[in-house]
Every structure is written in C-alpha cells, then in structure tokens.
Structure 1
C-alpha cells in the first residue's frame, strides 16, 4: 500500500536530518500516485540544509519519513471543536466495543455473575 501524505503534515526525514511540513504533493499525471513531496524545512541537524528552504523527497525514500504529531493549538477554534467531536465519537465507539467484548468473554467463559453485571441483569 502506498504511504499517504496530506498538505501540512509535519514530518521528520531521518536520511536528510531535518523536519518540516509537507508544502506540496506532486502526483503522476496518469496514475495519480505520489511521485515526490516538497517539504518546507523547519529544523535541521544537517549543516547543508537550511531552515526555511524547500527540500524534495522521492517516493523511493518515503520509508525514511516519520509523521510527527500535530500541536492542535495551530487549529482554528472551529477545527478544534470538530476534532474534539470526532475524537469523542471515536472514544464512545471504542467504549461500546470494549463493553461488548467483555460481555462476549463472560459468555464464552460461562461467568453468569459478570454477564449479569455487564448487562444490568439481576442475579436474584
């Protein structure tokens, strides 16, 4: 599967010794697959690569790219609210799946007490 990037991704390129943001994604005109990335360098441990410069990374070297976490303070208030809403819905879905898994495990193990506890049944 092709490694995917979007505009604005914060990345670290270990081979080049720099970090930056995806400034542009260049795609093949026929296949629409990513050919190379244009990175705006924000920090560099390589003396040959200056901060604020653009660097290009070919598709063959994508395995050397690490996606870095975002600081959500860079999001607008509307984007932060949308992100919180999405994350809350994902957390709710994970809690439901976890609860259902515990019920299934109680059934598999034949643990009547745990099953009744998880389903809100009465053991009397």
Structure 2
C-alpha cells in the first residue's frame, strides 16, 4: 500500500522527495520478499530481482537529483559556463529517462491492489 501511494505521488508530482519515498518503499518491499523467499524461493525470485533493479534505478535517479541540486546552487562552478550548461542538459535528459523507466517498473510491481 505504501509503495502504491509513493508511486502515485511520484507519477503526479515527480519531486525528488516523491521518488525517494518510492525507493524507500521498494527497499522495504525487497526486505519483505527476502524473508518470504526463504519459504517460497522460486515464485519470489523474479519479483525480488525486479524490486532490486527498481531500487538501483531509483538510486541512480537520486544521484542525478543531487548533482542537479549542486549544479543549480552554483556556489562553486564545476567548470566553464559552457561545460556547466552541457552537464545540466545531460542531467535533465538523464532525469527524464530515469523517471520514465522507474515509473513503468514501479507500476508493474505496485500498480495493482494486492489480492487478499
């Protein structure tokens, strides 16, 4: 349930904090799957792999958010103005791509209500 809420927020607002909450929810879900995997290793294995991959992509996205924040602060230039503009452009492109990838993967994992 927490992961689905985080997915909804990340999809609608797209803030760094929303994606961070989604990552935390994915990590928690991964820990739960790890425990369940001891009881049912075969059915849990594929889902656990997908959750771990989502966590990695969300971690990459977090790194992009942090770099953009540092770059936008502009207190200590990381290079020439031209290099900074290029880096900013590449980070925006990477952020857009990672957001899309993460939202699709998270929707596959958490989009439907759990069956009871």
Structure that is richer in helix per residue? 2
TM-score by length of 2: 0.30
Structure 1 or 2: more strand by fraction: 1
